[in-house]
Chains A and B, each alone.
Chain A
Amino acid sequence: MQTPALTINNVVKKFSGKTIVDIKRLEIDDGEAYALIGPNGAGKTTTLRLIVGIYRPDNGTIRIYGERAGTTKAREKIAYLPEDAGVYPRLTGWEHINFYMRLYMDDPREAEEKAEEAAKIADLGKKLYDKASTYSKGMKRRLLLAIVLALQRPLTILDEPTSGLDVFTAVKIRRMIRSLHGKTTILLTSHNMLEVEQVAEKVGFLMNGRIIAEGEPRELTARYGAENLEEAFVKAVKESEKG
């Protein structure tokens, strides 16, 4: 049996006594594209930070390909794009790419190849060699996403990858994420149900830190007798509040 890309068991995270995340079980198979959706404050970002090892759970275990979350071995398997990730203003786009490739890869030749790939994905033209302080918000996001995608880690985690971007950039970025299917396991969070329907194979509804429903998008819409994922989410929330 293949080791799951991610296994979460009875994970609880509290801040100032308030439970932010309380996930009994979550398993993502290798190569799967999984989306966690939920409103603001549902615990999406906290869950991702627990998975990448930035936060430590108060209780429970998180394993990435069998490795305990937060260890160097686990972190080497993850490429993570935080929601509002920034750039180093005085480094060029190309230097950003090289920095991250070499940070993750021991082999300089491999790092160089992946850097070329990231440059192609970012598609910034000559701007790639300008300082990042001159980039627009969309260009910065494209650069960082290209880095994360080109890293080709077994698990790629994207927190709100298209949040705050214009339609054209968002479409471009979704296309970039879809191109990853089959190459890596994807875990992303989003408010945007359309985005999730386009990108994810499996979806988890997160509310008040708990996963209230999980399944394939079509399966979820059918289960709640909804026309789309958005409606299914609203119904799932109402149902969980009742019972």
Chain B
Amino acid sequence: MSRRLSLIAWKEGKEVVRDKRALALMLLSVLAYPLLGALIAVLSSSQVINVAVKTCDQGPWVERLLHDIEEALKGGGVNYTILSCSANATTRIYDLIVTIPPGFNENASSLDKPVYISIVKAAGSPAADTAYNKLSGGLSAFTTDLARYRVRRLASLAGVKLEKPDNILAPLRILESLATPTGAPAPAGIEQKAWLARFLSMAIFFLVAPASTIIVDSIVGERERRTLEMLAASPATPSDILLGKLVTGVVIAVIASIIDLAGVAILTATLGIYYKGLTIDPLFAAFHSLQVFIAILVTCIFIELASVIAPSTRAASTTTSLVTAIAAAIFMSALFVDFTKLQPTASTIMQIIPYTHTVLAITAYVIGDKLGAAIHTIIAAAYIPAAELLALRLYNTERIIRSQ
């Protein structure tokens, strides 16, 4: 490193380390991880769900249905109330109201009559959706029991000996298993880990956002504060100035990677309380940390490039905001979109964006595709020297100073 470059790097490093507010914001990300984990795991399980079952009939099949419903709704914060037929139940109090109408038992006892129940769901309520999903399990169990009963009765009427009525009810048996893209059996708990990987891909943005604030302040701020002209007139070369700025990115990326390691550890510990058996391999934590490092350096380089090519200071600020917005869009969508399953056109466009490779690297690592993880990591990292070289080529002191 040349003397002047290391001097500019020293100056940049000092400025970054003293930006206490932005650093505090980055440190807060370490809390954002477990907080979000708690939001997902704890809050969703601690929401109070009220379900009412109005019974307007009696009999063994009613008793059976009530039992299945109760079993299905047990736990998970569901308050289950059985009401009389005349009771006034509204969706203001109850998220889900199940009514067992008169004649239910009689119809269920017959061989060919349909059995009705009515369900009223509170509109737009996630609690009602959760209750409905739980209830579906109970209703499915009841339907199977009722179908078995009817098949047995029919067999008895027909004088047929029937040992396993399920062979009539569900003759197709499905043997499910999970496999990695290479065809190898997926390790146990991969579903949970894949979900966690998606969440952790999204979480990278918690670190990229505050880091980009510091980087923008360092790069665009040099134009805004009018410190660049004196520096540009000094014997320092454009490469000293631009590479010196890159050091800011490295300092921030190292800090962010350490914060990320701590965040992943705390998140795992938090989620481990609610999802028994969920652990994160320390190697994966290190790999995730590496992705954070690369994503922040890529952000730094793109902000630098945007600042170099922007025709004015305002345009530089706007363009750098765009870089952060793209990062937000990619990392946030990682939670809901499987980037490996995109249509060719969409996939090609997405592959141009370096952050896509960060997400794909994490996804590949989790499902055991180490080669894919390495390739996507290399592609994401390759943007760093490529964009830096482009920035050096496009760097034009005259244009930058004129636009101040």
CB neighbours (8 Å) of A225 from chain B are none
The closest CB in chain A to the CB of B20 belongs to A90
- Count A interface residues, CB 8 Å: 31
A104 interfacial contact with B, CB 8 Å: yes
Q: Which of A31-39, A46-54, A172-180, A191-199 contacts B (4 or more CB under 8 A)?
A: A46-54
Q: Decide if A85 touches B14 in the complex (CB within 8 Å).
A: no
Stretch of B61-69, B115-123, B223-231, B312-320 lying at the A interface: B223-231
Task: Tell me the dominant secondary structure on chain A's binding face.
Answer: mixed
Contacts of A104 in B (CB 8 A): 234-235
What is the total number of residues of chain B having a CB less than 8 Å from a CB of chain A?
A: 25
* Contact A82 B15, CB 8 Å, known A54-B233, A54-B398: no
Stretch at the interface among A1-9, A71-79, A205-213: A71-79
Give which listed residue, B11, B232, B236, contacts A54 with CB less than 8 A. B232
Instruction: Give chain A's interface residues, CB within 8 Å of chain B.
Output: 15, 49, 52-56, 72, 75-76, 78, 80-82, 84-91, 95, 99-100, 102-104, 106, 131, 144
Query: Which residue from chain A places its CB closest to the CB of B18 in the assembled complex?
Result: A90
Number of A-B contacts (CB under 8 A): 73
Cα-based distance from A91 to B397 in the complex (angstroms): 24
Interface residues of B in 369-404 (CB under 8 A from A): 397-398, 401-402
30 residue pairs bridging A and B, Cβ less than 8 Å apart: A49-B229, A54-B229, A54-B232, A54-B233, A54-B398, A54-B401, A55-B398, A55-B402, A72-B235, A72-B237, A75-B234, A76-B235, A80-B229, A81-B230, A82-B226, A85-B227, A86-B226, A87-B225, A87-B227, A88-B225, A88-B227, A90-B18, A91-B14, A99-B7, A99-B11, A102-B3, A102-B7, A103-B235, A103-B236, A131-B18
Interface of B is mostly: helix
Of all chain B residues, the one with the shortest Cβ separation from A108 is B3
Residues in B whose Cβ lies below 8 Å from that of A82: 226, 229-230, 233
- Nearest CB on B from A141, distance (A): 12
Contacts of B8 in A (CB 8 A): 103
Cβ A91 vs Cβ B235 within 8 A: no
Q: How long is the Cα–Cα vector from A175 to B219 in the complex, in angstroms?
A: 36
Which residues of B1-47 have CB atoms within 8 Å of chain A's CB atoms?
3-4, 7-8, 10-11, 14-15, 18-19
